[in-house]
Each structure stands twice: as structure tokens, then as C-alpha cells.
């Protein structure tokens, strides 16, 4: 067979081989690479979403740490507030505090009365309190001053002083002080029995 004839016979074989390789490459691309590329794009999208979520969570963690720090800093004030304005009326504790104050100041606690809890609509309720104490003038003044330093918050509306002797003459004369005050609680007043 002559060289040109052999060349013609070999050319289609080369073309068939080249076309076969191209067909295989295309089949490989569509059968394996395209699906894997889609999977890779999905994984990349998941990674972006995960990074965005992580960033949001990191910011939230920073906020929560700052809030926890504020809570720790405010805890002593909240504890003091809870003692000053307790969540229950707790009249016996108030009476004990007033009694100890009277003993410490050398006056005699004659009576302590508290009326029912009255709502204010402002997140706390009030308890009207009436006190009657007797003793020397200076000790009574010390007692009244001490009411403002009780653990329990107590505000004084009026003080009426009566007794024998001149108020300016002697600190040893006996007097009686009638005091109208208000205690506070964060509890709401109880509804009367039978009310709905």
C-alpha cells in the first residue's frame, strides 16, 4: 500500500480516537464534574451561611457577657432594693426593725399599726403605718431620724409631738410622738374574699 493510501487509512482512526477522547471527556464532565461542582457550590453556600451564623452568635455572646457583667454589678443594689421594698408586705419584720430602733434610741414603742396594702399602679404598693413612741425629746428625734436608716424603706408623712415640759428646756422631759409613715412592697394587694 502506498504512503498516501496508508495516510488516508490512518487519519480516520486518529479522528475516531480524538472524537472518542472528546466524547469520553464530555461524558466525564457531565456525569461526574457537573454534579460535583453543584455539590461544591452547595457546600460553599453552607460555609457562608455557617460563617454568618457564627458571626451573629459571636455578637450575641459579646452582648450576653456584657449583660452578665451588668447583672453582677447591679446584684448588690438589687439585693438592697429587695430588702427596702420586699416582694411581700412582711409587717412582722417591719415591726421588729422599728422595735430594735426604739430600744437602741432609748424610747418606748407604744404601738405600731399598719393598714392594708394599697396599690399605686406604678409597680409597687404602699402600706400606711402609724407609730406611737414615748421618751425624752432628744431620743425621740434620734428615733425619727433612725426611721430613715432602716433596712426597710419607710417614708414619714407627719410627726406630732406632745407631752409635758418645754420642748427647748430639757432633754429629759417625756414626750409622745405620733408618726404617720408609709412602707412599700412590690406585691399587689390581695382581692377581698368573694371578689372575682
CATH of the domain at 164: 3.30.70.60
Query: What's the per-residue H, E or C state across 107-153?
Result: CEEEEEEECCCEECCCCCEEEEEEEEEEEEHHHHHHHHHHHCCCCCC
d(C-alpha 139, C-alpha 64), whole Å: 51
Same domain, 101 and 58: no
* pLDDT level of residue 19 (50, 70, 90 thresholds): confident
Choose the final residue of a domain: 84, 111, 134: 84
Same domain, 117 and 48: no
Same domain, 107 and 50: no
Residue 195 lies in a domain: no
Choose the final residue of a domain: 84, 109, 128: 84
Structural domain range at position 48: 1-84
Region 41-61: mean pLDDT is 89
195, pLDDT greater than 70:
no
25, pLDDT greater than 50:
yes
Per the structure, the count of domains in the chain is 2
Predicted local distance difference test score (pLDDT) of residue 11 = 63
Same domain, 61 and 130: no
Region 69-89: mean pLDDT is 80
Same domain, 50 and 125: no
Amino acid at each position: 500500500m502506498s504512503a498516501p493510501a496508508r495516510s488516508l487509512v490512518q487519519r480516520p482512526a486518529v479522528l475516531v480516537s480524538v472524537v472518542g477522547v472528546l466524547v469520553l471527556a464530555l461524558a466525564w464532565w457531565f456525569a461526574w464534574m457537573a454534579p460535583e461542582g453543584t455539590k461544591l457550590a452547595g457546600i460553599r453556600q453552607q460555609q457562608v451561611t455557617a460563617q454568618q451564623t457564627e458571626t451573629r452568635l459571636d455578637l450575641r455572646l459579646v452582648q450576653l457577657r456584657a449583660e452578665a457583667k451588668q447583672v453582677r454589678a447591679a446584684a448588690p443594689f438589687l439585693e438592697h432594693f429587695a430588702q427596702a421594698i420586699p416582694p411581700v408586705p412582711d409587717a412582722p419584720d417591719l415591726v421588729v426593725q422599728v422595735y430594735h430602733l426604739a430600744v437602741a434610741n432609748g424610747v418606748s414603742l407604744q404601738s405600731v399599726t399598719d393598714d392594708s396594702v394599697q396599690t399605686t399602679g406604678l409597680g409597687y404598693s404602699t402600706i400606711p403605718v402609724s407609730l406611737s413612741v414615748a421618751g425624752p425629746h432628744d431620743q425621740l428625734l434620734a428615733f425619727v431620724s433612725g426611721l430613715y436608716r432602716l433596712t426597710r424603706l419607710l417614708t414619714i408623712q407627719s410627726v406630732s409631738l406632745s407631752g409635758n415640759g418645754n420642748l427647748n428646756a430639757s432633754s429629759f422631759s417625756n414626750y409622745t410622738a405620733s408618726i404617720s409613715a408609709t412602707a412599700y412592697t412590690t406585691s399587689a394587694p390581695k382581692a377581698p374574699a368573694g371578689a372575682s
